[in-house]
């Protein structure tokens, strides 16, 4: 950039250099020396707007690899942990039998809900590809926020002579971010596929109403937990059905989870320092490596109070769902000899973040860990013991009855706090009703009350109130 366009002082170091300037400098000149002037030179190479547009298109191709959906599917094919065997007919039968038994057991504990699809037994690639579209939809608020952030920063950092060109770059950058994010999701979901055990493991019905078991991971998980694989399969099938029945019985719950996720996602920002770090001193021949590194760890962690509050709300909600199913499934599977060992092992999985989940969070910007599962389970145990299964399930009757952080901290005070809230609401309703009633009464009395001089004139009128009709 020429001196007249460079407003930095001689004391400014590389840390103050804007990241988009360095990225474009890397693309168009040597050593990452900044934006070129329109129609001028960049590292000895002439540049015009059409060349910049072509370079942006090249970067888009490097980041996306073409069609975003196809690119994500290709990444899954390349990244799913191997070996990933095809599910045999015997495994499919085992899975189906587990779901049939789970349905019988679960009906003794909660009311069944119609509309559940035929169960499926999947390998890793089938789970990743089958859940991909749902992951993309859930993460779309983050993608949009990332796109808007990139466009805004690019427009702010571009020199004045390139303002017209940058004004039209928004659509291209939006397409680039969508393609790049689809690939990120593909990589993230592929990493999860090596450990996931069911379709609703993360508290969301990723396969709609279809119950799913990832049979490819089940033997390894059973060996790691030191439990019988058949018993683990039955437990997981019961948990899968419990989740699906819960979401079917309370349709608003899914939207509530997604709203909490969207609220958190709306605050996730692009970590522009990574763009700066990657672009500094990077040779243009290494743009493929830069594109790959940009696809991971580009999203900044939660920093603002609003973000942290939204993240807490999301984690609490997922913990409540997981805690409810923990209690329900444990009761339904009382015939399983290993049920306590399975329960404790799965609680441990929920409490800790695996490498695959950490990779997922770095790619997508959020984690779906129910970190307070034990606290939520303690709350549901208390409600069930105190007032029966109806009180346990009534937590999901309305968003206002969902447990808060305070309820998870102090389960014994849940009922008392709800009674106080309802009493306060009732008092407000009664006060409002009284005010409106008094207002209506006042209006009525003013309407019926005679005007000051009407009373004096009444004597001049006849008994019929019409007065003397004779001419004066």
pLDDT at 351 (0 to 100): 82
Three-state secondary structure call for residue 213: strand
**pTM of the complete model beyond 0.75:** no
Cα 32 to Cα 413: distance, rounded to the nearest angstrom: 60
| Among the listed residues 138, 146, 152, 154, the one whose alpha carbon sits nearest the alpha carbon of residue 175 | 146
pLDDT at 222 (0 to 100): 97
Query: Strand 41-42 and strand 45-46: pairing?
Result: antiparallel
DSSP class per residue in 35-66 = PPPTTSEETTEE--HHHHHHHHHHHHHHHH-S
| Among the listed residues 121, 350, 332, 315, the one whose alpha carbon sits nearest the alpha carbon of residue 239 | 332
- Cβ neighbours of residue 150 under 8 Å, at least 6 residues apart? 173, 177, 270
Three-state secondary structure call for residue 10: coil
pLDDT at 217 (0 to 100): 96
- Cβ neighbours of residue 99 under 8 Å, at least 6 residues apart? 119, 211, 213, 237, 240, 241
Tell me phi and psi for residue 73, to 5 degrees: -65, -40
pLDDT at 25 (0 to 100): 43
Each of the 472 residues of the chain gets a pLDDT tens digit; together they read 444 444 444 444 444 444 444 444 433 333 333 344 334 443 333 444 555 555 555 555 544 445 677 888 888 999 999 999 999 999 999 999 999 999 999 999 999 998 899 999 999 999 999 999 999 888 888 778 777 777 777 677 667 766 666 666 666 666 776 777 788 889 889 999 999 999 999 989 999 999 999 999 999 999 999 999 999 999 999 999 999 999 999 999 999 999 988 888 777 766 656 555 555 555 555 555 555 555 555 555 556 788 888 889 999 999 999 999 999 999 999 999 999 999 999 999 888 877 778 877 776 767 788 999 999 999 999 999 999 999 999 999 999 999 999 999 999 999 999 887 656 554 445 555 666 666 666 555 554 544 444 444 444 444 444 344 443 3
Q: Which helix (H) or strand (E) holds 214?
A: strand 212-214
pLDDT at 424 (0 to 100): 52
Cα 169 to Cα 145: distance, rounded to the nearest angstrom: 16
DSSP class per residue in 288-334 = HHHHHHHTSS-BPPP-SHHHHHHHHHHHHHHHHHHHHHHHHHHHHTT
pLDDT at 368 (0 to 100): 84
Residue 169 has a CB neighbour count (10 Å cut-off) of: 19
Cα 69 to Cα 151: distance, rounded to the nearest angstrom: 22
pLDDT at 234 (0 to 100): 98
């Amino acid at each position: 950039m020429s001196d007249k366009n460079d407003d930095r002082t001689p004391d400014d170091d590389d840390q103050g250099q804007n990241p988009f300037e360095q990225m474009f400098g890397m693309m168009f000149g040597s050593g990452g020396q900044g934006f070129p002037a329109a129609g001028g030179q960049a590292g000895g190479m002439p540049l015009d707007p059409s060349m910049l547009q072509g370079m942006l298109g090249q970067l888009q191709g490097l980041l996306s690899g073409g069609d975003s959906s196809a690119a994500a599917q290709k990444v899954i094919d390349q990244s799913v942990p191997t070996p990933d065997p095809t599910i045999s007919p015997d495994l499919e039968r085992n899975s189906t039998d587990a779901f049939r038994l789970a349905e019988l057991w679960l009906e003794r504990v909660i009311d069944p809900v119609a509309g559940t699809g035929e169960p499926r037994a999947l390998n890793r690639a089938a789970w990743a590809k089958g859940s991909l579209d749902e992951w993309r939809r859930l993460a779309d608020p983050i993608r949009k926020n990332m796109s808007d952030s990139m466009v805004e920063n690019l427009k702010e950092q571009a020199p004045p002579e390139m303002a017209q060109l940058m004004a039209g770059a928004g659509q291209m950058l939006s397409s680039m971010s969508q393609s790049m994010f689809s690939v990120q999701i593909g990589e993230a979901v592929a990493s999860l596929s090596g450990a996931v055990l069911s379709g609703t493991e993360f508290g969301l019905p990723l396969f709609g109403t279809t119950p799913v078991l990832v049979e490819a991971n089940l033997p390894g998980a059973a060996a790691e937990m030191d439990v019988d694989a058949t018993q683990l399969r039955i437990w997981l099938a019961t948990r899968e059905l419990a989740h699906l029945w819960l979401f079917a019985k309370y349709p608003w719950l899914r939207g509530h989870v997604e709203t909490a996720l969207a609220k958190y996602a709306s605050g996730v920002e692009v970590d522009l320092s990574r763009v700066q770090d990657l672009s500094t001193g990077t040779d243009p021949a290494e743009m493929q490596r830069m594109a790959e590194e940009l696809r991971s760890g580009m999203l900044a962690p939660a920093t603002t109070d609003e973000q942290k509050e939204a993240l807490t709300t999301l984690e609490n909600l997922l913990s409540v769902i997981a805690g409810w199913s923990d209690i329900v499934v444990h009761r339904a599977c009382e015939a399983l000899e290993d049920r306590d060992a399975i329960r404790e092992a799965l609680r441990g999985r929920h409490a800790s973040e695996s490498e695959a989940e950490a990779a997922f969070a770095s790619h997508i910007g959020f984690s779906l860990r129910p970190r307070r599962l034990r606290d939520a389970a303690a709350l549901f145990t208390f409600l069930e013991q105190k007032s029966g299964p109806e009180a346990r399930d009534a937590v999901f009757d309305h968003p206002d009855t969902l447990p808060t952080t305070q309820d998870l901290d102090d389960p014994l005070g849940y009922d008392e706090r709800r009674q106080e809230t309802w009493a306060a609401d009732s008092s407000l309703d009664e006060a409002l009703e009284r005010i409106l009633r008094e207002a209506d009464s006042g209006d009525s009395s003013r309407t019926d009350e005679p005007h000051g001089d009407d009373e004096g004139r009444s004597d001049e009128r006849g008994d019929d109130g019409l007065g003397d009709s004779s001419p004066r």
